Chains A and B, each alone.
Chain A
């Protein structure tokens, strides 16, 4: 028989042990949640910044094509040109040359008539061909004011942006302008790994007609992936597929990436280019600090339990006082 005092001591000791163990578990669980929250906040901030950068790049490129459009309009108005006469062709050829030499990021400029036939271009070999022949994506029509059409690989294997505008002169649609612009600025966004640790990266993806996610910029762990690799739509838990399915802002905590690694990610969508932006980091890297915390908590709990147990034992063994 043990005394009432011993009963109390035992009760307090066991309660203390239970509370300690439960606190340790709760602490570990909360720690994990906090770590996931912190990583997602960081990824979200990076996603917002990079999305803004991409939008600015696209805006600059749309401005560029508008500038070319305005120049053509001004020259046509000044010279009283309304048709695709020889004089008009010469004027346009001159403007194309000028625009090409002044804007360093422009790789090629082509102007087509209403029948989509190229009448002037900085690339002589495409004269007389259909301006749509090299397009990767079909487009029902071209809005006025300039827009970005697509990202593609040029003849040299360089990632390039194609921008379009309708050429309107004197209120009448006269043809189309196409600019091929260096995608360096766009690629620089994907190459910026600031704050993304050892495994994080920014992915730019586009949805194909089959729903696959076509990679648009080199990946951190697959340098040659841009426009040469697509993630099949059947991989429903892939973070790139998820970003295109959402078509909006969000974050994912239970997805895998193109390396089949479990990742944490923030996603954004840019309507102008049907472009998904994924900012992600491997879950294992994101949780590395928590794992250390878990280990420390487990060791501390174990040591505390051992100390309490050691302290209680003599009390329990002491014979009850009369």
Chain B
């Protein structure tokens, strides 16, 4: 189900989009939610007059938790040496729970941008300042587990961090 509302008039314009979805996959006898099974998705985009006669843009993104497969241990996947009949090397691999049986924390991000428009040198200059992920929320990209130590730990990588950018466009 999708809902889309847009405002065209007034000083403040923008739109709101909401989506509700539920997805399942079946492989052989196994049914599980795929990695993109996100129940709720909300995007709010707003434009308004900014300082110094610029234009302010704000975008809010929210996503309910995505599934991932939980890790409960690590095993040594050994390499068999057929010449000598020994296992002589190994690779450490994860032991998982049921497929996509757990969920990451929810996703949320706010981006803010300011743009100006100046006619110059026979063209149009558009300087801008923007910040991605203003609140520096660490939205999870991937987890990494270490069960080879006591106590076991979880680390990982997040998606885009607080990311400021400055630039200028010139149209002629």
Mutual binders A and B: no
Interface residues of A (CB under 8 A from B): none
Interface residues of B (CB under 8 A from A): none
